[in-house]
Amino acid sequence: MTQTTRASAADRRDARAAAAAPDASGVFSHRQIITILSGLMLGMFLAALDQTVVSTAIRTIADDLQGYDLQAWATTAFLITSTIATPLYGKLSDIYGRRGFYLFAIAVFVVGSALCGIANSMYELAAFRAVQGIGAGGLMSLALAIIADVVPPRERSKYQGYFMAVWGTSSVLGPVIGGFLAGQESILGLAGWRWIFWINVPLGIAAFAVVVRVLHLPHQRRDHRIDWPGALALVVALVPLLIVAEQGRTWGWDSGRALTCYALGAVGLVGFVLAERAYREDAILPLRMFANRTFSVSSVSSIVLGAGMFGGILLLPQYLQVVHGSSPTVAGLQMLPLVLGIMSGALTSGQVIARTGKYKVFPLVGVVFMVAALVALSLVVAADTSVWTLVPFMFLLGLGLGFNMQPVILAVQNAVSPREIGVATSSVTFFRQMGGTIGTAAFLSIMFSRLGTEIPAQIERAAQSSPEAAQQAGALLQAGPESILSDTSAINAYPALVTPFRTGFSNTLDLVFLVAALVVAVGFFVLWFLPQLELRNQSGIQAQQEAAGRNAGDTPGAGAGQDAAQAAGAAAPTSTAPPTGRPGDAEPAGRHRG
């Protein structure tokens, strides 16, 4: 390559970066925001599509790999790594900038997806899903942090429609695509479900190319220590607890192995707290942020709602496939009311928040909707329940989810220092994922524990009333009752036992939905204490540039002290910024109670 060619390529890169940069005050034009959003939406589409594709097809995948009762490993492995990676992405992107880490997240996600497509057992799939989760941990949280850098909180809801359109589109397409591919015996000589993962590869390459071209954000690097001890302690805390949540039904909740996991988790938790105290401002999750009432309430509610949310969304497709006999494609289409509810709730809340600036009411109402929907599902779900009966409750559940997704994130981003938007956003996302991880493992554990007694009881009852059922029950007993849990389609070999099997499965889901409702209900009492603050009219970049401009005029050393005071004020329970020390300075917008 000649010197002239290299110079012209560098000039073009510089021109693209200059065109994407904000003006002197840190304000982006609408066109620039839309350009940046195009890259973010592709990454978000990638993450959202994968979640809905896999949740619809997991039964087919698990049956094909002879491991229906091991599916929790594939689910929790993804959630463990994405949960642990999320706060790291947030902290590191605050220090070094978001663009590089967003590109890294896309690349790792694509590699993990390609590996999932060649898995030959549920254990291999779980390992490759763990790789995929490392990338997924950055896709959603960094997209939310980047939009917070670019758009002020009061205006941010205007652009939520774009995100929700992508989320809704992927939620609609995901189950249909996943169902269609999982329903194919073979595509180009390979099992159809493998293409569920490989479809991410071209999408990921496209997202990577778009982000490289359009995402250019100003960033001032800050030298900090990286909290690797905290990250290691977080792994030690989470992994044993999640393993025992999945295996407790097999080991026994008070067995030696379970007690060992509890002890390791406790040691990891203590180690994490000590590491965060030692690293102070450099910690993955600075402990002082919990003094901010908005942050602490949002974090606790995210754990609770994440658990209930994942429990409900995970089990509905399985009910439709196992009990109603729907194909994966049909089950995906039958989930559309839930998707429409999510889109409706998110779009409605976004528009109202943009006009009024009030966000607290939506999470509270959303929790009420979610609890009502889950309780109703626990009452109406049965072996012979019509799918149409489920439609209003699925829509109501989706509406509640839509009311909770963005307002809580918005509240946290608005309540912290602009320099901490990344760590605050990723922390709340982390707590939501942690709740989802624990909830998924716990609900699956409850389900399989109950299935082990409920299905045999229903089969025994059928055998007592029908000679044919008694004969087939004997054959099943000889083959091993666990065979129909490893591969649920195996029940079709015993026609007289299909109805008892479906009845037992439905009765089990009744309990799980009710437990999920009780968990979500706790979120209402937590969210009641969420402060209603005035939304700022500055984006994260605007606020940081304004602060940098003020500090440039201060005496040497004053800027650092002022930044520390402002950070401490942003973390205070009232979220009220401290005085700047200059007579006549106005209090920043959004720092007083609403």
Per-residue pLDDT of the chain (594 residues; tens, 9 = 90+): 555 555 555 555 555 555 555 555 556 667 777 777 877 887 778 777 777 677 667 777 777 776 666 666 777 788 778 878 888 888 788 777 788 888 999 999 999 988 988 888 888 888 888 899 889 888 877 887 888 777 777 677 667 656 766 766 676 677 677 777 777 776 776 777 788 888 888 888 888 888 888 777 765 666 667 778 888 888 888 778 767 766 666 677 778 888 898 899 899 889 988 988 888 777 777 888 888 888 888 888 888 888 877 666 777 877 887 888 777 667 767 878 887 888 788 778 877 887 888 888 999 999 999 999 999 998 888 878 888 888 999 999 988 888 887 788 888 888 887 777 777 878 887 888 778 777 777 787 788 778 777 777 777 787 777 777 777 777 767 666 666 666 666 666 667 777 777 888 888 888 888 888 998 999 899 999 888 888 776 555 655 656 656 655 554 444 433 443 333 333 333 333 333 333 333 333 333 333
Q: What's residue 561's pLDDT?
A: 39
CB 151 within 8 A of CB 132: no
The label of the residue with tokens 């609900």 reads 443
Residue 533: phi and psi, rounded to 5, are -100, 160
Encoded amino acid at 135, one letter: G
Alpha helices, H only, 256-335:
256-279, 293-322, 328-334
pTM: 0.74
CB 396 within 8 A of CB 532: no
Q: How many CB atoms lie within 10 A of CB 501?
A: 25
For 257-295, b/e burial (b = at least 16 CB within 10 A) is ebeebeebbeebbebbbebbeebeebbbbbebbeebbbb
Query: How much helix, strand and coil, in percent to the nearest 5, is found in the chain?
Result: 80, 0, 20
DSSP string covering 481-519:
TTHHHH-GGGGGGSGGGHHHHHHHHHHHHHHHHHHHHHH
Q: Encoding tokens for residue 285?
A: 């999750």
CA distance 143 to 150: 11
Q: What's residue 576's pLDDT?
A: 34
Q: What's residue 507's pLDDT?
A: 83
Q: How many CB atoms lie within 10 A of CB 378?
A: 18
Q: Residue 336: is it exposed, middle or buried by C-beta count within 10 angstroms (0-12/13-18/19+)? A: middle
Cα dist. 9→4, 209, 231, 546 in Å? 9, 16, 39, 33
Cα dist. 319→51, 68, 461 in Å? 18, 14, 22
Please give the angle made by the CA atoms of 151, 432 and 158, to the nearest 5 degrees.
25
CB 368 within 8 A of CB 400: yes
Q: What's residue 253's pLDDT?
A: 72
Cα dist. 247→13, 451, 465, 482, 494 in Å? 52, 15, 35, 16, 29
